[in-house]
Amino acid sequence: MEEETHTDAKIRAENGTGSSPRGPGCSLRHFACEQNLLSRPDGSASFLQGVAEKSRERLIRNTCEAVVLGTLHPRTSITVVLQVVSDAGSLLACCLNAACMALVDAGVPMRALFCGVACALDSDGTLVLDPTSKQEKARAVLTFALDSVERKLLMSSTKGLYSDTELQQCLAAAQAASQHVFRFYRESLQRRYSKS
Amino acid sequence: MAAGFKTVEPLEYYRRFLKENCRPDGRELGEFRTTTVNIGSISTADGSALVKLGNTTVICGVKAEFAAPSTDAPDKGYVVPNVDLPPLCSSRFRSGPPGEEAQVASQFIADVIENSQIIQKEDLCISPGKLVWVLYCDLICLDYDGNILDACTFALLAALKNVQLPEVTINEETALAEVNLKKKSYLNIRTHPVATSFAVFDDTLLIVDPTGEEEHLATGTLTIVMDEEGKLCCLHKPGGSGLTGAKLQDCMSRAVTRHKEVKKLMDEVIKSMKPK
């Protein structure tokens, strides 16, 4: 019995500008430019960018695989496609929440719900939950995925340097914050099913 | 008969051992496999190291080249890691473009370098805005028997400690770089990040340094990268069973002891190498 969960995340939006085709009296040919291509500093940066997405996909996929009851649906493939509409910080946490809600909406049997919570640690040790893009430039950014049953840590992805005690503080804060997220899940689902 | 049972019911076979708090290869739950490290074996590379964690073998070669810095960071060099898992290390890998596991490992090593600030990128600058060093770190796995991330981190650290960069001066008249191969200096390694990997069994049991089979049977993995001050560079837990805060704390203490073991081993090796 094999159950695969694929996750694709298309993050980069290509900007392109093109000029009109050669018109009368204009000697320039059709030209186009892709902003994104020019702003890359060197080849290795673009390689790592694609690899970063793969890494993110793996994190989300493994989290889903841990909660989805795959044994109830043998020989089934569950594909989760995530499309970023806008990124204002805490992207991975948002992706996790979206993936969970999508799985619930699809009626996939799960052993628990999960939510993503991000927190940023400043240089003086202040904790900021759900940081914006600007706040994410802090000393460390930690993203956790917590399950709904016992608030256990399902997934963690961290960036930056931090101490052990700070980790425990962030984890405790994330566990407290996850309560709000789960309450929001419950309310939105109640609202949806009360209508129909 | 034991071999037959192992093939038919591998998980039950493992559970029998775990109940007695040991593993089929005789290790305890918190014990690492024998770690050996060999530094400077590749003469054509600027720095190299070979690390063996039991059967898992990873070799790291560092080559330094010139590059032009980017406009938004004109005094910063580059450290570009690449983890390669070729088909020769395990039958699960096919030849062709890097698979997902290799890409995730490359990203992990890049994150460790970035987060731990192992090298100050400004140290790699030769002439701001014109010329910087770029260190290509190639990690190749020669034998895959689990716990690839620990081996890669250790190999990278050992190789970077072995790198010797020649002195480069910019000739004012010709504006060309002149390399003095006779005068070489070691890199300034600021921190020593050491990775400790755990595998979660049956949602409760944590074992250290999983082998290939154990990784396959595990329900989750966790990798902690710690530096000498006890600061965490990376807490990599890609999904899998949940962990409570208390279990995480146990992992931290094990990571601290592992850091001491690895640091001692590395210092011995560096000391034993004759200065050139």
What chain A residue is nearest to B244 in terms of C-alpha separation? A152
Contacting A residues, span 149-178, partner chain B, CB-CB under 8 Å: 150, 152-164, 167-168, 171-172
Identify all chain B residues contacting A140, using CB atoms and an 8 Å cutoff: 115
Cα radius of gyration rounded to whole Å, chain A: 21
Report yes or no: B195 and B154 within 8 Å, Cβ to Cβ.
yes
What chain B residue is nearest to A173 in terms of C-alpha separation? B245
Nearest to B253 by CA among B206, B186, B183, B190: B206
Contacting A residues, span 8-67, partner chain B, CB-CB under 8 Å: 41-42, 44, 48, 50-52, 54-55, 58-66
Q: For A136-164, how does the pLDDT look when each residue is reduced to its tens digit (9 = 90+)?
A: 888 899 999 999 998 999 999 999 999 99
Contacting A residues, span 59-98, partner chain B, CB-CB under 8 Å: 59-66
State residue B127's pLDDT score: 87
Report yes or no: B235 and B214 within 8 Å, Cβ to Cβ.
no
Q: What is the DSSP string of chain A?
A: --EEEEEEEE-PPPPEEEPPPP-TT--PPP-EEEHHHHH--SHHHHHHHHHHHHHHHHHHHHHHHHHB-GGGSTTEEEEEEEE-S---S-HHHHHHHHHHHHHHHHT--BSS-EEEEEEEE-TT--EEES--TTGGGSSEEEEEEEETTT--EEEEEEEE-B-HHHHHHHHHHHHHHHHHHHHHHHHHHHHHHHH-
Q: How far is CA B76 from the centre of its chain?
A: 23
Task: Work out whether the CA dihedral A70, A73, A79, A80 comes out positive or negative.
Answer: negative
Q: For B204-221, how does the pLDDT look when each residue is reduced to its tens digit (9 = 90+)?
A: 888 999 999 999 999 889
What are the extents of the domains in chain B?
Answer: 24-271
- What are the tokens at A98? 């979206």
**A54 contacts B100? CB cut-off 8 A:** yes
CA distances from A180 to A187, B29, B242 (A): 10, 37, 19
Segment A118-135 shows an average pLDDT of 89
**A157 contacts B236? CB cut-off 8 A:** yes
CB-nearest partner of A48 from B71, B110, B134: B110
**B242 contacts A154? CB cut-off 8 A:** yes
B116 touches chain A (CB under 8 A): yes
Q: For A28-49, how does the pLDDT look when each residue is reduced to its tens digit (9 = 90+)?
A: 444 444 344 444 444 444 445 5
> Residue A196 — very low, low, confident or very high, per pLDDT cuts 50/70/90?
low
* Ramachandran sector of residue A193 (left: φ over 0; alpha: ψ -120 to 50; beta: rest): alpha
Identify all chain A residues contacting B236, using CB atoms and an 8 Å cutoff: 156-158
Q: For B21-78, how does the pLDDT look when each residue is reduced to its tens digit (9 = 90+)?
A: 888 888 888 889 999 999 989 999 999 999 999 999 999 999 999 999 988 888 899 9
Best residue in B72, B139, B235, B254 for a mutation probing chain A (most A CBs within 10 Å): B235
Best residue in A154, A163, A165, A168 for a mutation probing chain B (most B CBs within 10 Å): A154
Q: For B130-157, how does the pLDDT look when each residue is reduced to its tens digit (9 = 90+)?
A: 899 999 999 999 999 999 999 999 999 9
Identify all chain B residues contacting A156, using CB atoms and an 8 Å cutoff: 235-237
**A155 contacts B238? CB cut-off 8 A:** yes
State the nearest Cα–Cα gap between B64 and chain A, in angstroms. 15
Which ipTM value was assigned to this complex?
A: 0.84
Provide, rounded to the nearest whole percent, the portion of chain B with pLDDT above 90: 50
**Confidence (pTM):** 0.84
Identify all chain A residues contacting B80, using CB atoms and an 8 Å cutoff: 44
Best residue in B72, B75, B104 for a mutation probing chain A (most A CBs within 10 Å): B104
**B240 contacts A154? CB cut-off 8 A:** yes
What chain A residue is nearest to B233 in terms of C-alpha separation? A161
Helices B100-116, A43-67: axis angle to 10 degrees equals: 110
Report yes or no: B132 and B76 within 8 Å, Cβ to Cβ.
yes
Residues with Cβ < 8 Å from B172, sequence gap 6 or more? none
CATH architecture of B24-271: 2-Layer Sandwich (3.30)
State residue B140's pLDDT score: 95
